[in-house]
Chain A
Amino acid sequence: EAQVTQNPRYLITVTGKKLTVTCSQNMNHEYMSWYRQDPGLGLRQIYYSMNVEVTDKGDVPEGYKVSRKEKRNFPLILESPSPNQTSLYFCASSLRQGSHEAFFGQGTRLTVV
């Protein structure tokens, strides 16, 4: 089954404790991205990757890092999480940048206390 898998689904952590949210897709997509979803603000792009070893900042990259060492995986790293990073995070993949059908993961609800 074609899918985007994120882990964990839920995470509560403390300020400053490094964490990684994993994302994996099995569709051989070139393009992957991370979004955060906050009430009333919709989906805002954090980082994206057009292919292996190619990553770039989205609209709200501050406080986040990503890597794309393999085509299927695109982890999101919070080196020093802060409470304003409490949000619902989605990973998405599509065939290439600009493809109209993006496939989203189930989401990761992160709470930073």
Chain B
Amino acid sequence: GESVGLHLPTLSVQEGDNSIINCAYSNSASDYFIWYKQESGKGPQFIIDIRSNMDKRQGQRVTVLLNKTVKHLSLQIAATQPGDSAVYFCAENNYGQNFVFGPGTRLSVLP
């Protein structure tokens, strides 16, 4: 069949700058939100999660913010490095049911 190019949202940042990757979710009943990172040629890898009763959660160089009013999730990466170049997926989970993944955002880190 005909191949279709990737239509991912893209974000390009300079090395050392902070990155903010955004995600809109659909199910207001979801109780957990998760971020995954997928490097080229690899499977997705868990980064961080946040429960729906929280607004913010911090990990190592990453912070996830949750705005339930507008059903928006963001992933902030501090001091972005070349190794952060990847596709980032948000996913929502509804009380133990299966994950629903977003389409992903491609992050490119410029030297």
Contacts and interface: CB of A to CB of B under 8 A. Distances in A.
Main secondary structure of the interface of B (DSSP, over half): loop
A90 B102 contact: no
20 contacts: A33-B98, A39-B5, A39-B6, A42-B102, A42-B103, A42-B104, A45-B98, A83-B1, A97-B98, A98-B32, A98-B97, A100-B34, A100-B46, A101-B34, A101-B49, A102-B44, A102-B46, A103-B46, A104-B43, A105-B43
Nearest to A58: B98
B50 to A, nearest CB: 9
B53 to A, nearest CB: 15
A97 B96 contact: yes
Contacts of B44: 43, 90, 92, 102, 104
Interface of A: 4, 33, 35, 39-45, 48, 58, 83-84, 86, 90, 92, 97-98, 100-107
A40 B99 CA distance: 17
Give the 10 A-B CB pairs with smallest separation, nearest first.
A104-B43, A98-B96, A40-B7, A43-B101, A42-B103, A100-B49, A101-B46, A42-B101, A83-B1, A39-B6
B8 interface: yes
Contacts of A107: 41-43
Nearest to A107: B43
A106 B97 contact: no
Contacts of A97: 96-98
Contacts of B103: 40-42
Interface string B64-80: 00000000000000000
